[in-house]
Structure 1
Amino acid sequence: MTEITECVRKIILANQVNKNEHADRKQAAGMLSEVRASLVVIRGMLTLGWGMKFISHGAFMILTTQLDSVEKQITRWHGWFLSDDFAGNAKKTALS
């Protein structure tokens, strides 16, 4: 549960950075990298719980499917923070 709470905390903090500042975007990307690593740990814990019969097969499938969706979104968001599409290109477009 602590791992999940930390993921939520880091996602909220990443969302609150100044998205127009490169250093802040880099910091947010770092937080999201940590979230991605935590999601791997969470997946491992779910797999262990399923293997030990603490989690039913149906619940395991639902949880891992939802986890897949979260991982994909975090990966896209991480890439967005590392790109210049939202800051640099907006300025270039305005100047054109």
Structure 2
Amino acid sequence: MSLPVQELESMKETLTKALQIVDSLKHQPQEVTVPNKFQEDEVLTIPKLRRRLGISKENMSDILSEPGCPVFTLGGPRQRRVIWSEFVEWSKQRGA
């Protein structure tokens, strides 16, 4: 099966343009934005933070015991809270 020269040239032009577009996209910085559906200054209980992150109690306990984790206590040991924006920033800094 052979294609007419004119059709081959047209296909070549189309492929060349497509490759140029792909090449230009590879060289553009990719900025990923995640919609912020949570309030930045929201104060969360530990169970609510755990549900938001979708992790187990054991993993949450490990995270909270890490140095610098921005958790604070309001009274007793069961009154721990986290400010969402501080937790997110801390997580970014530690590379999580």
TM-score by length of 2: 0.31
Q: Which of the two has greater strand per residue?
A: 2
Q: Please tell me whether Structure 1 or Structure 2 has the larger radius of gyration of its CA atoms.
A: 2
TM-score by length of 1: 0.31
Q: Which of the two has greater helix per residue?
A: 1
